């Protein structure tokens, strides 16, 4: 497919809407008018520059747009999440005062003063004065120039050279999806994907925030160029599950997108999905198979317990290095929580199986339905391998342990999600209440509501969570979509007791939640007993978190591991106190698919180094 040509972050799909806007002009450079109570040039006059370091993220779009090469990025003090630690340095011997740098600034940090003083250097008597020294903290000047704090040309909130509005993603309306498990998100068309890709300024701020450090600018640029093969190849460098992540990734990268400071962040996740969905599976498998395999002699057998994202990621990269990898999983099919914990309306089996089959194509053997510690001793797995990695995830439920929660018609979310994924007979009440405010809580609530509508023609589902507003841990789209589907969310309420009447579940007593976390940030909820109520229900489901199960490990092995609050402490690459044993994924860093992918990749490198004598 031929691409549309050289990419421009002036976003040609968006720019024409500004074509007829009236320009800001003045008659004479030194026309005196009273602006902001001061005499000077017109408010949009382009004088010397000012850069607000609190806003500047060092993305470098000002340097890219400069037509005279007057700007270069140098080391700065703006360091932190979503910032690259760079600031623009301007050479006024080259600057033509066009203001392009202001117009294209993604955060609006750059502006221009209303005073133009030619090329006068800072007078000797001004050196060391506060106004000059303060300026140095915000902008690097070459050479140092006198500065006026009167604002001039600034970023306009009404128009921009950048595409500030995201391309709308098509979704099934609520009344077409709420009684089935058809995938909700439709995916971008080619036209929409090109328009969205054109918004990316290729600054790379997102790369540092992505747990897997995916090459986001490169694969988005390839989409813009119309080269989906190159785009997918860039993805597989750091992520062997791009189709899955293109649907259910937590997309932390978008939270620091430079365009998001003034508009909507680039839809990085949806662009990833577009490239994968629009390339034949055979071509993706061919690209994924182009790994730098090297022949191995001697120690080359690796066993992995768990076929979730961490296990699959490690297997892919180890397989690419020539290792013989065997994965063991207790479930009927591979995928772990991705298959049994995420509803099909978010992640259909077709998208999941495609990524898994591509991993298997590298010669990876996956033994499903094998319970380590029961069907096969852990010691036997160790004896068959030169290195072992455990990535078994969090598959045991946590409980509120409130009175009555272990009674009849009380269930755990994950067991019901797994039953639904397997096509089993999921128990259904007529009036269901779900406890929890995370993604799993919304997943089970929306799943049960669908089953209610499909089997009972009516959904009656209520949720209760401790948190309120922005404190709710679930993704905002989960909250919005569940409301559209008729699910009622009661925020800021604390469950106290499951109530039974005549041995039948009658409802849940609750009180007002006054605090979720204490001053140190630890989970320590408090409630107001004077503000109480009862939610009627004939079925209660808990979705308040998961925890790991290490019973498959022999006692002598478990004793050598340092486990804190359910998580195994490892070095930065998954190594444990047992040289041949490695750990990755949820049991190390908690539930997050993209973190697990990163863990698997890093641990694969560590295993390779271990089996090569530290080389």
| Share in percent of the chain as helix, strand, coil (round to 5) | 30, 20, 50
Q: What is the pLDDT of residue 512?
A: 98
Q: Does CATH place domain 301-395+548-611 in 3.50.50.60?
A: yes
CA 3 to chain centre: 28
Cα–Cα distance for residue pair 270/245, rounded to 1 Å: 9
Confidence of residue 310 (pLDDT cuts 50, 70, 90): very high
pLDDT, average across residues 522-526: 95
Nearest-Å Rg of the Cα atoms of the chain is 29
Q: Which residues on neighbouring strands pair with residue 508, listed in sequence order?
A: 498, 535
Fold equal for 22-142 and 174-288: no
Rounded Cα distance between 448 and 458, Å, is 11
CB-based contacts of 408, cutoff 8 Å, min separation 6: 503, 505
Q: Which of 133-147, 229-243, 522-536, 547-561 has the lowest mean pLDDT?
A: 133-147
Rounded Cα gap, residues 255 and 263, in angstroms: 12
Tokens representing 178? 């709420």
List the domain boundaries for the chain. 22-142, 174-288, 301-395+548-611, 397-546
Q: What is the pLDDT at residue 298? A: 60
Pick the CATH number of 397-546 from 3.30.70.100, 3.30.1360.120, 3.50.50.60, 3.40.50.1100: 3.50.50.60
- DSSP strand pairing (581-583 vs 387-390): parallel
CA quadruple 112, 113, 115, 118: dihedral sign:
negative
Predicted confidence (pLDDT) per residue in 387-416, tens digit: 999 999 998 999 999 999 999 999 999 999
Rounded mean pLDDT, 77-83: 84
Question: Taking the mean position of all CA atoms in its chain, how far away is CA 583?
Answer: 22
Quick one: pLDDT at residue 438?
Answer: 96
pLDDT digits (tens, 9 = 90+) for 589-604: 878 899 999 999 999 9
Helix/strand number for the chain, H first, E second: 22, 24
pTM of the model: 0.85
**Model confidence pLDDT, tens digit, residues 311-365:** 999 999 999 998 999 999 999 999 999 999 999 999 999 999 999 999 999 999 9
Strand pairing report for 33-35 and 38-40: antiparallel
- Please report which confidence band the pLDDT of residue 3 belongs to, taking 50, 70 and 90 as the band edges: very low
What pLDDT is recorded for position 498?
98
Quickly state the pLDDT bin for 44 (edges 50, 70, 90).
Answer: low
The two structure tokens encoding residue 614? 């530290």
Burial, 381: exposed, middle or buried (Cβ in 10 Å; 0-12, 13-18, 19+)? buried
| DSSP string for residues in 332-366 | SSS-THHHHTS-TTTS-HHHHHHHHHHHHTTT-EE
Q: Which CATH architecture has domain 22-142?
A: 2-Layer Sandwich (3.30)
Give the span between the Cα atoms of 293 and 608, in whole angstroms.
12
Residue 118 confidence (pLDDT)? 40
pLDDT at 2 over 60: no
Which of the pair, 1 or 220, is modelled with greater confidence? 220
Per-residue model confidence as pLDDT tens digits over 143-155:
333 444 455 566 6
Give the CA count within 13 Å in the CB-facing half-sphere of 405.
20
pLDDT band with cut points at 50, 70 and 90 for residue 52: confident
CATH number corresponding to 174-288: 1.10.1060.10
């Amino acid at each position: 497919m031929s691409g549309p040509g050289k990419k421009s972050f002036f976003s040609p799909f968006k720019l024409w809407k500004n074509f007829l806007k009236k320009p800001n002009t003045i008659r004479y450079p030194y026309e005196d008018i009273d602006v902001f109570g001061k005499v000077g040039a017109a408010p949009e006059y382009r004088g010397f520059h000012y850069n607000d370091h609190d806003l500047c993220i060092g993305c470098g779009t000002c340097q890219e747009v400069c037509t005279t090469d007057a700007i270069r990025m140098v080391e700065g003090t703006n360091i932190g999440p979503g910032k690259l630690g760079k600031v623009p340095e301007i050479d006024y011997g080259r600057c033509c005062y066009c203001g392009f740098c202001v117009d294209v600034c993604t955060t609006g940090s750059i502006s221009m003063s209303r005073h133009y003083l030619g090329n006068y250097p800072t007078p000797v008597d001004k050196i060391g004065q506060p106004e000059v020294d303060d300026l140095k903290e915000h902008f690097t000047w070459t050479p140092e120039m006198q500065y006026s704090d009167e604002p001039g040309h600034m970023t306009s909130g009404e128009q921009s050279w950048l595409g500030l509005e995201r391309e709308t993603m098509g979704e099934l309306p609520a009344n077409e999806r709420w009684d089935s498990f058809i995938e909700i998100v439709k995916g971008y068309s080619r036209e929409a994907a090109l328009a969205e890709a054109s918004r990316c300024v290729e600054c790379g701020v997102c790369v540092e925030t992505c747990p897997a450090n995916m090459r986001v600018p490169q694969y988005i640029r390839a989409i813009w160029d119309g080269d989906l093969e190159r785009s997918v190849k860039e993805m597989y460098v750091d992520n062997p599950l791009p189709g899955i992540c293109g649907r259910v990734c937590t997309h932390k990268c978008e939270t620091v997108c430079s365009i998001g400071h003034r508009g909507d962040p680039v839809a990085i996740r949806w662009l990833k999905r577009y490239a994968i969905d629009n390339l034949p599976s055979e071509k993706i498998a061919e690209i994924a198979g182009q790994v730098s395999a090297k022949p191995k002699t001697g120690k080359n057998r690796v066993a992995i317990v768990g076929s979730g994202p961490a296990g699959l990621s490690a297997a892919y990269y180890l397989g690419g290095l020539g290792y013989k990898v065997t994965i063991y999983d207790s479930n009927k099919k591979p995928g772990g929580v991705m298959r049994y914990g995420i509803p099909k309306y978010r992640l259909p089996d077709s998208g999941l199986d495609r990524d898994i089959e591509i991993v298997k194509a590298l010669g990876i053997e996956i033994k499903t339905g094998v319970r380590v510690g029961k069907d096969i001793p852990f010691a036997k797995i160790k004896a068959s391998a030169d290195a072992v990695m455990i990535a078994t995830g969090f598959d045991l439920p946590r409980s509120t342990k409130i009175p009555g929660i272990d009674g009849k018609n009380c269930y755990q979310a994950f067991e019901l999600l797994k039953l639904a994924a397997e096509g089993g007979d999921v128990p259904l009440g007529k009036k269901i209440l779900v406890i929890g405010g995370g993604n799993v809580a919304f997943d089970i609530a929306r799943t049960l509501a669908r089953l209610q509508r499909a089997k009972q023609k009516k959904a009656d589902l209520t949720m209760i969570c401790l948190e309120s507003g922005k404190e709710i841990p679930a993704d905002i789209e989960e909250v919005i979509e569940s409301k559209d589907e008729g699910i009622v969310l009661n925020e800021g309420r604390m469950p106290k007791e499951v109530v039974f009447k005549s041995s039948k579940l009658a409802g849940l007593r609750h009180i007002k939640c006054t605090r979720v976390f204490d001053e140190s940030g630890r989970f320590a909820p408090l409630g107001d007993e004077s503000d109480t109520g009862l939610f009627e229900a004939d079925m209660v489901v808990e979705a308040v978190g998961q925890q790991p199960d290490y019973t498959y490990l022999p006692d002598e092995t478990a004793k050598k591991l340092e486990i804190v609050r359910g998580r195994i402490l490892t070095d930065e690459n998954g190594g444990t106190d047992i040289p041949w044993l490695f750990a990755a994924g949820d049991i190390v860093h908690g539930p997050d698919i993209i973190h697990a992918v990163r863990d698997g990749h890093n641990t694969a490198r560590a295993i390779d180094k271990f089996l090569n004598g530290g080389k």
